[in-house]
Structure 1
Amino acid sequence: MFGNPFVQQRSESTKGILFALAAFTFWGIAPIYFKAVADVPPLEVLAHRILWSVLLLMGLITIARQWTLTRDLLRDPRKLKLLLLSALLVAANWLTFIWAVANERILETSLGYFINPLVNVLLGMLFLGERLNRGQTIAVLLALSAVGYQLLVLGSIPMVALILAFSFGFYGLVRKKVAVAAVPGLAIETLLLLPLCLAYLGYLVVQQRSSFSLQLPDTAALLILAGVITTVPLVWFNAAATRLSLATVGFIQYLAPSIAFTIAITVYHEPFSHDKLVVFGIIWTALLVFSLDAWHQQRKRRL
């Protein structure tokens, strides 16, 4: 007997939601891991993250039988150049995040990932010729006003938040041009960065400054886990993205910065002044406008 297609679709959607919740929860609690390696220099953490990610991603490619696709990418000079650019962007994003967590700036990282969807819309307008509708325009202007408020009142620009939002925004823009599956794409990105990472880690060993040693087994184990922190949520996210609409994934993505925001205040007691509340409040208002507009546009398409 054939199964009920409606029931099967609902089952797949439920699986997708569970995968999405798992991925974004994992990303949300990631600051706890990076706080645990805060004594290791950020650049060394980044190098280990790339090294162990390469090994795990190669294993995933083998399991998924995606070596033909990966080899085809490695033989395409145009795509390789774009993947090198995206690799540098994601490395900048990772390094900024690692540094921010180690320097008690988790709140600002959460702000960056709250801003990111609005940055994506802005970049789409600037580089892809996409037109902003009224709701998107209001949301982007509200985000700009939040940055302006912080500059005027606090005398500073939220640099960590902006670097995270724009580096990830440009990363997504470049990856759109490549149009490659997430796991092979990230595998090649990390592979392109691997020679520099190995050279740097080798230099640290020669200089006797490496944090990875038998004398520090706990630290070594944590650094190896950097690969898991990178690849596991990516696999879950891919599983979710193939089962859910972009609108649903877009809504659930706010879970990650929300968890990071909560952890920053309740676990690590980062200062949260009235002025910071105003900045976050403006951004949350912008996201509410943005989300309601996306929901409205999706309903119009269905009618």
Structure 2
Amino acid sequence: MKCALRTSCYDGRSHAFTWNPALNPNLQKSSTQTGAIYAILAYSTWGMLPIYWKLFGQVPAVEVLTHRVIWSMVFLTGLLFLQHRRAEFSQLWQTPGKLAVLFTTASLLAFNWGLYIYAVNADRVIETSLGYFINPLVNVLLGFVFLKEKLTRWQAIAVLLAGIGVSYFVLQFGQVPWIALALAFSFGCYGLLRKMVAVAPMVGLAMETLLVTPIALAMTGYWAVTGAGHFGVGWGITLLFIGAGVTTSLPLLWFNNAAKRLQLSTLGFFQYLAPSLQLVLGVLLYREPFTATHVITFAFIWSALILYSTTSLMRQHSSKAG
């Protein structure tokens, strides 16, 4: 849908007035700047989330996870209703195939969320950072294996460099960085399966949280009856539980706004902000060990990401020029 300059257009699906900024360079520049702000807000919030999860102290990660699911569902479904997008949400109930895939992705996402909370409170923030640095390269690998996407020579080298970095870590420490790998592969598989479902990001996430909410409610109900739960014990911890939904949902909204305004290659560079902040928090704030082995491992991963990002950007520019 294109609109003349200074003429608003009504988009009946999203119930919002939109315009095409590409028709005016000043509007396009303003849109790009706004998109960059949204991207910084989204990824910096994701990067600073360890601070929030640390506030839960000794509360079990699975209990924090159940409230993250419940309150995210409340926040997202409420927002969809306010945006008058109930029709999109209702249509999903008429497609059992999509619901089955979304339940699978919801399970992967819940696993990823829960593992991340556990890792933060187990003083493994640096390892979570490693996992999210690896994630873009895992996406490339999964696309090659399952979607038969061809790897360029430089992409293959980037994946190889990441593999060398992880292998060096294993050889030096004698243990697999399972948290990093589980976070990277669970989120990579989540993204892979979500490609199979034609649904808007926020609508999809709202449905995913709704599908696993009955399980979360059953668990919190059991803990309430047995006295093992922490919800309602004090106003501080109760507000933290409720806030888990907001801290989960707001960055997603900011990300969606950024994605609408920025090119994919530009947005891709912002994604490294989150694990970078996690790494800084792990080293400087939480004083987790950062040995020479960590330095070499991260050096391989960063080299792989620089190679991957640079070649991807060059390919995009060459395709536009062609």
Higher helix proportion: 1
Are 1:143 and 2:165 an aligned pair?
Answer: no
Counterpart position of 1:295? 313
Are 1:21 and 2:40 an aligned pair?
Answer: yes
Distance in 2 separating the partners of 1:45 and 1:28: 18
Distance in 2 separating the partners of 1:97 and 1:147: 19
- After TM superposition, give the deviation of residue 2 of structure 1 in Å: 4.3
Distance in 2 separating the partners of 1:84 and 1:272: 38
Deviations 1:213-235 (A, max 9, x none): 2x411111111100011100000
Q: For structure 1, which runs of at least 5 residues remain unmatched after alignment?
A: none
- 1:7-18 map, 5 Å: 7-18=26-37
How many corresponding residue pairs? 302
Alignment partner of 1:261 out of 272, 279, 288: 279
Counterpart position of 1:208? 227
Are 1:233 and 2:261 an aligned pair?
Answer: no
Counterpart position of 2:13? none
Question: 8 Å contact 1:46–1:91 — kept in the other structure?
Answer: yes
Q: Which amino acid aligns with 1:134?
A: R
Distance in 2 separating the partners of 1:100 and 1:74: 35
- After TM superposition, give the deviation of residue 181 of structure 1 in Å: 0.8
Counterpart position of 1:34? 53
- After TM superposition, give the deviation of residue 179 of structure 1 in Å: 2.2
Distance in 2 separating the partners of 1:199 and 1:120: 34
Distance in 2 separating the partners of 1:33 and 1:179: 32
Counterpart position of 1:190? 209
- After TM superposition, give the deviation of residue 56 of structure 1 in Å: 0.3
Classify the secondary structure of the residue corresponding to 1:262: helix
Classify the secondary structure of the residue corresponding to 1:178: coil
Deviations 1:41-98 (A, max 9, x none): 0000000000101110111101222110111012101100000010000001001100
Moved over 3 A (4+): 1-4
Distance in 2 separating the partners of 1:226 and 1:186: 15
Alignment partner of 1:6 out of 22, 25, 38: 25
Distance in 2 separating the partners of 1:246 and 1:128: 19
Distance in 2 separating the partners of 1:259 and 1:122: 25
Question: 8 Å contact 1:38–1:101 — kept in the other structure?
Answer: no
Deviations 1:248-274 (A, max 9, x none): 111110000001100111111111011
Q: For structure 2, which runs of at least 5 residues remain unmatched after alignment?
A: 7-22
Classify the secondary structure of the residue corresponding to 2:195: helix
Classify the secondary structure of the residue corresponding to 2:318: helix
Question: 8 Å contact 1:109–1:160 — kept in the other structure?
Answer: yes
Same amino acid, percent of matched pairs = 46
- 1:113-152 map, 5 Å: 113-152=132-171
Counterpart position of 2:294? 276
Classify the secondary structure of the residue corresponding to 1:212: coil
Q: Which amino acid aligns with 1:139?
A: A
Counterpart position of 2:200? 181
TM-score in terms of structure 2 length:
0.92
Counterpart position of 2:16? none
Classify the secondary structure of the residue corresponding to 1:177: coil
Alignment partner of 1:57 out of 76, 84, 95: 76
- 1:82-97 map, 5 Å: 82-97=101-116
Are 1:108 and 2:132 an aligned pair?
Answer: no
